[in-house]
């Protein structure tokens, strides 16, 4: 079994899922969170692997975002799909990284993820506003390594 439960209670998990739902009310973009203890390969490559594993490339506008966190390594990666890269600048996720880092530094693990999810939603809204026919294309549940 995963040891991620050591880091998040089920109540905290639920709060993160609610943040994802809230963020996706403003954007057609899909946000997912993956949490694991650590990674043996580079965190960036691991993020790509998880992105593929979760079939996150499978959205109409290619606008899914994965927030990957390796808890024990104190590392996180924000990875957006091609559709996002095509319309934003290279430092697009910097503000989202900053809000997460702020909370992580204070040891507020759950809050860092929640703030990151909400910020990512705000940032996505500019380029991918929510539309009336929006579908929840990817699960809002947290994925665990």
Using CB under 5 A as the binding rule, whether residue 23 contacts Ca ion is answered as no
Position among 12, 15, 85, 134 found at the interface with Ca ion (CB under 5 A): 134
Give the containing element (helix H, strand E) for 124. Answer: helix 109-127
Pairwise CA distance, residues 132 & 20, whole Å: 18
Q: Looking at 30, 36, 81, 123, which residue binds Ca ion (CB under 5 A)?
A: 30
Which range touches Ca ion (CB under 5 A), out of 10-18, 41-49, 95-103, 133-141? 133-141
Closer by beta carbon to Ca ion, 35 or else 39 = 35
Contacts of 97 (CB under 8 A, 6+ apart): 76, 78, 116
Q: In the sheet where 75-80 sits, what is the strand order?
A: 75-80, 64-70, 30-36, 143-144
Position 64 contacts Ca ion (CB under 5 A): no
Question: Closest distance between Ca ion and the C-beta of residue 130, in Å?
Answer: 8
**Binding-site ranges for Ca ion (CB under 5 A):** 30, 134, 136, 138, 140
């Amino acid at each position: 079994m995963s040891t991620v439960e050591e880091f998040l209670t089920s109540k905290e998990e639920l709060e993160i899922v609610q943040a994802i739902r809230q963020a996706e009310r403003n954007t057609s973009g899909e946000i997912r969170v993956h949490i694991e203890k650590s990674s043996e390969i580079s965190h960036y490559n691991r993020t790509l692997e998880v992105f593929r594993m979760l079939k996150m490339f499978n959205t109409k506008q290619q606008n899914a975002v994965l927030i990957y966190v390796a808890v024990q390594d104190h590392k996180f990666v924000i990875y957006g799909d091609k559709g996002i890269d095509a319309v934003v600048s290279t430092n697009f996720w910097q503000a989202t990284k900053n809000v997460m880092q702020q909370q992580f530094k204070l040891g507020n693990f759950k809050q860092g993820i929640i703030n990151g999810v909400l910020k990512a939603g705000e940032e996505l809204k500019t380029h991918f506003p929510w539309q009336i026919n929006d579908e929840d294309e990817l699960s809002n549940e947290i994925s665990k390594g």
